[in-house]
Amino acid sequence: MFTSPRIQLLASAGAILALTLAAVLLASWFGPATERVLTVFLISLTAVVGIGLYSGNSGILSFGHVAFMGIGAYAASLLTLPSALKVATLPKLPEWLAMTELSLIPATLIAVVFTAVVALFIGAAIGKLEGSAATIATLGLLIIVHGVIIGWRDVTRGAQSFFGVPRETDLVTAAVACVLALLVARYYRDSVSGLRLRAGRENAIAAGAVGVRIQRERLVAFVLSAAIMALAGSMIAHFLGAFSPKKFYFNDTFLLLAMLIVGGMTTVTGAITGAVVITLVTEVLRRLESGFTLGGFDVPPIFGTAQIGIGLIILLAMFRKVDGLAGMKEWEERLLPVADLPDKAPVVPQAPATDTLTGEAMTMAFGGLTAVDGVSIRIEPGEIMGLIGPNGSGKTTLLNMLSGVLTPTAGRVMRGDEDLTGLATYQIADRGIARTFQNIRLFPNLTVMQNVLVAALSTHGGRDAPARAHAAMERLGVTGHAAADAGTLSYGDQRRVEIARALACQPQFLFLDEPAAGMNREETDALMVILRRLSSELGIAVLLVDHDLELINQLSDRIAVLNEGRMIAQGTPLEIRKDPAVIAAYLGTGRKTDTKQEGEMT
Amino acid sequence: MKKLILTSAIVAAFAAPVAAETLTIGTATAQTGSLAYADAPTMQGMKLAVDEINEAGGIGGTIKIELLEKDVRSDPAQTSIAAQELVDAGVSVIVLPGDSDPSLAAIGVVSSAEIPAISTVASSPTLPEIGGDYMFSNFPGDNVQAAVSAKWAYDEGFRTAWIVYSLDTQYTTMPLYFRDVFEKLGGEMLGESTNTIGQQDFSAIATTIAAQDPQPDVVMTSAYEPDFPSLLRALRAAGVTSQIIGSDGIDSPTTFSLGDVGEGVVFTTAGFATEGSALESFDKAFEAKYGSAPETIYSAVGYDLIKVIEAAVIAADGSTDPKAIQQAMANLENVQGATGLITYKGTNGMPIRQVSLIRVKDGGRELVGQPTPDADLIPAPRMQ
């Protein structure tokens, strides 16, 4: 199951195969030296997409992936090294390993699987870390693995040359490995897991709210990318024939990351672009620095320009294109911007809730500040409930507790008899509770279609996800924008996409945090119609926070009013309009007002 | 694809034509990166030798030498690419970096093209052993240095020894060769200690050695900065009075600035400029060309590398055929280089060279001896 249009994936695969084949043929025509340059390039590219698969999709820059390249190199080489040489140079190897002598392909497969298992443990350990803490952890990984390889002398020969590895990597082998890595990376990006991970990269809180388990997707990507690194490691080991731990350390990490960052971390197009640009510039400078004759003048060799060149490219790329030369999009996404909408198959509607959602005596304290103080709220199946209150009264905090973004300091969230308190947001989402955010939290670099689809895929086991996504987009009237990036839409459209995304989760309870903010009157009126239908046609209970009291008054069956963290009133719109406490909270005590004016209060 | 077209155009434009009376030596050395500390000064010495020979009319008065230089940035993969380019350019000899990894990464290319290759300053005797017939070294091997220092120690009347070594690198296992030779000569090993490179505290090792009764006559190590000064201070502080023997890794200004604690340390190195020696005239020629004295012995060793190639071409009757040069090189005897006499005959490609024994005296260097080691004494390379 892939989440992007088939034509894009086919175009990408076709281009990868055609380009690699053309490069191999051209290099063969040029001769053995060019073949070697291309072989090293292809192995580097394999490693670059390996790092990109994790870093690009998760948004966590990894300094540690070259360690997996090292593990793969040593593991595969231990299996292919001739037995006689193993006995002579590594006398303390266990006998079964010393006697094993495999050819390149089975050895590489075993090394890839072994490395993936190692990565599974490491990934599970560091997967909880976020942002720069995660990046620093990967740096630690690089240093620790380097230390282990040096220290484990009986198996690795320590810091000394690990030599005698059969030189079985030729141009074709490297090309096949590289094509494999590129295809895995490209298809992962638009797999269900890849899409979820990218959603998490774009906005972690929103991804959780639509059911994405970011840590699990990160682990999947981590293991897959480690496997690709191991493949690259085995290739370089069997290309060089001799290597030592320093081959898998900072120098190569720097070079590979330079390629990835210059080209653009988030796409396979970027990985290829970066690898090509840096290789190209290094190759040209390398030839120039060996000295040449120009118009009768002999220019003497000046070494070191290649490294300076790489440094300058990085600077230039970062100044001109922060997301890398290829940006955030694959080339085929730019050239073939189709939405490829799924068939609008009939969606089995989610049965309306029969139980109530209740918050019981919920308190949320941030340090000394109590944002919500002992609030109880009850939402009946299918009703529209308005939640109002002055700025800072605790509305959003209450919503965050009910949707699992915050765990209440005291009190419980119950759905029927089930206690939802302390559940993660993705678990809440799967229990029929979806929401939007006060400050729009879309996945700006994903298309509208992908924004909505990822929600459908991540809830209710992903059943009928494409149809659910399509139905949700239709209902909100954003189908026409399906192929557009969510971040490029107008404010009102972004609000609607966010509601469509929440709706794609097939919720029984929907929390909308200021859905009409920033909309004009016509847009607000149209939204009102849509929201009323959610309740009347789908039986979804809506908890609506807004400052537009006209909207609240017209839509709500009941209204709850918060002030300074406490619930001051609950009741029908009519009751609320007459409630002296509400009037006092909104206008201050000692002043009477005509209730009809409330519509203008914002 | 543009890359490949551009690439080949540049190669075509810059590859120099090989004339009949020219010997083209391709250098795929580390002029930048972590190995540049050795390969850059070696290149200076090589260029000095090439200029000298060419100014005198070339090898044997007729064959001019041309250097085709490539920088491999201390990277094994780049070394293998550069070696292939040099093979394609039709060079007769290839010079490889002063470390096993990149040299071994290139040896596959070099061997199948049947072109002799010499590593600038790699001292591991396993390199030519693994590299095969076309891989030569140029520096006094670890085993050769150890054989010289062990023989000297025994001849001085020292009969008991203790070694301190590290398995972290090939180089720091040199004391194991010392042990083999010393025992072969009839000396007795009282014990051995291991350390890790970068170890800060050597007091445990020093205390162990100091507690021996009697203390060993000799403590031998191939540790270098910053480990060697720490070890030396710890030993002396613990009351160890044994003769300390080191290796060429401590042939640096630091060793001569340690004050009293450094006095009397003896170490092996590639050369010593005695009055009227070849090294003295090399130093003068070097200063005349570059404006300052050579900073390390590597420059003289680089000069020697070219002299070895020159001798091999002469021995091959002026042939620039790589195979003929390889045959001739393997049988060279007593080639006069800047650092002394160099012999490949009877070795696996690791030359037998004169090794200089230096004693630290009054913060300066005193020559103890410049023996050519007895080939029978040199232990076989250790593969582990």
Query: Contact at 8 Å (CB) between B154 and B185?
Result: yes
Q: Which residue, among A104, A108, A86, has the nearest Cα to A96 in the 3D structure? A: A86
Task: Band the pLDDT of A597: cuts 50, 70, 90.
Answer: very low
Inside any domain, residue A307: no
Indicate yes or no: CB of B130 within 8 angstroms of CB of A163.
Answer: yes
Q: Among B71, B75, B104, whose Cβ lies nearest the Cβ of A163? A: B104
Q: What is each CA distance from B362 to B10, B260, B261, in whole angstroms?
A: 56, 8, 11
| pLDDT at residue A66, rounded to an integer | 97
What is the pLDDT averaged over residues A74-81?
97
The secondary structure of residue A203, as a DSSP letter, is: -
Least confident among A229-233, A287-291, A354-358, B102-106: A287-291
What is the pLDDT averaged over residues A346-360?
78
From the CA of A21, how many Å to the nearest CA of chain B? 11
Same domain, A235 and A377: no
Q: Among A22, A163, A303, whose Cβ lies nearest the Cβ of B32? A: A303
Task: Band the pLDDT of A348: cuts 50, 70, 90.
Answer: low
Tens-binned pLDDT, residue by residue, of chain B (384 aa): 444 454 554 444 444 444 458 999 999 999 998 888 889 999 999 999 999 999 999 999 999 999 999 999 999 999 999 999 999 999 999 999 998 889 999 999 999 999 999 999 998 888 998 899 999 999 989 999 999 999 999 999 999 999 999 887 888 899 999 999 999 999 999 999 999 888 889 999 999 999 999 999 999 999 988 899 999 999 999 999 999 999 988 888 888 989 999 999 999 998 888 888 999 999 999 999 999 999 888 999 999 999 999 999 999 999 999 999 999 999 999 999 999 899 999 888 999 888 999 999 998 889 999 888 888 888 988 876
| pLDDT at residue A103, rounded to an integer | 96
The secondary structure of residue B246, as a DSSP letter, is: E
Q: Which of B34, B101, B137 to mutate to test the interface with A (most CBs of A within 10 A)?
A: B101
A26 reaches B (C-beta below 8 A): yes
From the CA of A288, how many Å to the nearest CA of chain B? 8
Task: Band the pLDDT of A316: cuts 50, 70, 90.
Answer: confident
Rounded Cα distance, A450 and A3, in Å:
7
Give the helix/strand (H/E) hosting A378: strand A369-379
Indicate yes or no: CB of A32 within 8 angstroms of CB of B88.
Answer: yes
83-112 of A, contacting B, C-beta below 8 A: 88-91
| pLDDT at residue A600, rounded to an integer | 43
From the CA of B100, how many Å to the nearest CA of chain A? 6
A150 reaches B (C-beta below 8 A): yes
Kindly report, residue by residue over A191-236, the tens digit of the pLDDT. Answer: 999 999 999 999 999 999 999 999 999 999 999 999 999 999 999 9
Inside any domain, residue A201: yes
Kindly report, residue by residue over A42-68, the tens digit of the pLDDT. Answer: 999 999 999 999 999 999 999 999 999
Inside any domain, residue A411: yes
226-255 of A, contacting B, C-beta below 8 A: 236, 239-244, 246-247, 251
From the CA of B328, how many Å to the nearest CA of chain A? 27
Task: Tell me which chain A residues have a C-beta less than 8 angstroms from the C-beta of B80.
Answer: 36, 239-240
Q: Among A158, A241, A291, whose Cβ lies nearest the Cβ of B168? A: A158
Query: Contact at 8 Å (CB) between B56 and B124?
Result: no
Domain extent, residue A392, equals: 357-444+498-601
Q: Which residue, among A443, A394, A402, has the nearest Cα to A421 in the 3D structure? A: A402
% of chain A at pLDDT higher than 70: 96
Indicate yes or no: CB of B7 within 8 angstroms of CB of A287.
Answer: yes
Inside any domain, residue A92: yes
Kindly report, residue by residue over A561-570, the tens digit of the pLDDT. Answer: 999 999 999 9
Same domain, A362 and A240: no
Residue that finishes a domain, picked among A245, A277, A307: A245
Q: Among B1, B32, B69, whose Cβ lies nearest the Cβ of A290? A: B69
Cα angle at A548 between A546 and A550, to 5 degrees? 125
Residues in chain A: 602
| pLDDT at residue A344, rounded to an integer | 62
Q: Among A40, A251, A280, whose Cβ lies nearest the Cβ of B81? A: A40
Least confident among A15-19, A176-180, B156-160, B194-198: B194-198
Indicate yes or no: CB of A150 within 8 angstroms of CB of B168.
Answer: yes
267-326 of A, contacting B, C-beta below 8 A: 276, 279-280, 283-284, 286-293, 301, 303-304, 306-307
Indicate yes or no: CB of A22 within 8 angstroms of CB of B1.
Answer: yes
Residue that finishes a domain, picked among A216, A245, A274: A245
> Per the structure, how many domains does chain A have?
2
From the CA of B222, how many Å to the nearest CA of chain A? 16
Give the helix/strand (H/E) hosting A292: strand A292-294
Count CB atoms within 10 A of the CB of residue A128: 11
Indicate yes or no: CB of B169 within 8 angstroms of CB of A150.
Answer: no
Q: Which of A93, A143, A160, A272 to mutate to test the interface with B (most CBs of B within 10 A)?
A: A160
From the CA of B75, how many Å to the nearest CA of chain A? 8
Question: Rounded to the nearest 10 degrees, what angle do helices A192-202 and A448-457 cross at?
Answer: 110
3-state secondary structure at position A125: helix
Residue that finishes a domain, picked among A194, A229, A245: A245
* pLDDT tops 90 at residue A15: yes
Inside any domain, residue A110: yes
Q: Among B4, B84, B107, whose Cβ lies nearest the Cβ of A36? A: B84
Inside any domain, residue A474: no
Kindly report, residue by residue over A236-276, the tens digit of the pLDDT. Answer: 999 999 999 999 999 999 999 999 999 999 999 999 999 99
Give the helix/strand (H/E) hosting B234: helix B227-237
Same domain, A229 and A361: no
Q: Where do we find the tokens 């007729």?
A: B62
Q: Scanning every residue of chain A, which has its alpha carbon at the shortest distance from the alpha carbon of B1?
A: A23
Q: Which residue, among B358, B371, B153, B333, has the nearest Cα to B273 in the 3D structure? A: B358
Task: Tell me which chain B residues have a C-beta less than 8 angstroms from the C-beta of A246.
Answer: 34, 101
Indicate yes or no: CB of B80 within 8 angstroms of CB of A36.
Answer: yes
Inside any domain, residue A480: no
A126 reaches B (C-beta below 8 A): no
Indicate yes or no: CB of A239 within 8 angstroms of CB of B77.
Answer: yes
Indicate yes or no: CB of B14 within 8 angstroms of CB of A292.
Answer: yes
| pLDDT at residue B245, rounded to an integer | 96
| pLDDT at residue A349, rounded to an integer | 64
Inside any domain, residue A316: no
Task: Tell me which chain A residues have a C-beta less than 8 angstroms from the C-beta of B11.
Answer: 33, 287
Residue A76's identity, in one-letter code, is: A
From the CA of B369, how many Å to the nearest CA of chain A? 32
Q: Among A88, A153, A241, whose Cβ lies nearest the Cβ of B167? A: A153
Rounded Cα distance, A259 and A263, in Å:
6
Rounded Cα distance, B274 and B276, in Å:
6
From the CA of A8, how many Å to the nearest CA of chain B? 23
Mean pLDDT of chain A: 90
Q: Scanning every residue of chain A, which has its alpha carbon at the shortest distance from the alpha carbon of B82?
A: A33
| pLDDT at residue A55, rounded to an integer | 96
Q: Scanning every residue of chain A, which has its alpha carbon at the shortest distance from the alpha carbon of B71?
A: A303
Task: Tell me which chain A residues have a C-beta less than 8 angstroms from the C-beta of B170.
Answer: 160-161
From the CA of B315, how many Å to the nearest CA of chain A? 31
Task: Tell me which chain A residues have a C-beta less than 8 angstroms from the C-beta of B9.
Answer: none
Same domain, A371 and A241: no
Task: Band the pLDDT of A584: cuts 50, 70, 90.
Answer: confident
| pLDDT at residue A300, rounded to an integer | 79
Question: Rounded to the nearest 10 degrees, what angle do helices A491-503 and A465-476 cross at?
Answer: 140
3-state secondary structure at position A452: helix
Cα of first residue to Cα of last residue in chain A, in angstroms, is 46
| pLDDT at residue A298, rounded to an integer | 78
Q: Scanning every residue of chain A, which has its alpha carbon at the shortest distance from the alpha carbon of B170?
A: A160
Task: Band the pLDDT of A345: cuts 50, 70, 90.
Answer: low
Q: Enumerate the H helices of A290-407 as residue ranges.
A: 305-320, 331-335, 395-402
Cβ–Cβ pairs < 8 A, chains A and B = 135
Task: Tell me which chain B residues have a C-beta less than 8 angstroms from the C-beta of A31.
Answer: 88
CATH of the domain at A418: 3.40.50.300
Task: Band the pLDDT of A343: cuts 50, 70, 90.
Answer: low
Task: Tell me which chain B residues have a C-beta less than 8 angstroms from the C-beta of A306.
Answer: 32, 71, 73
| pLDDT at residue A586, rounded to an integer | 77
Indicate yes or no: CB of B80 within 8 angstroms of CB of A240.
Answer: yes
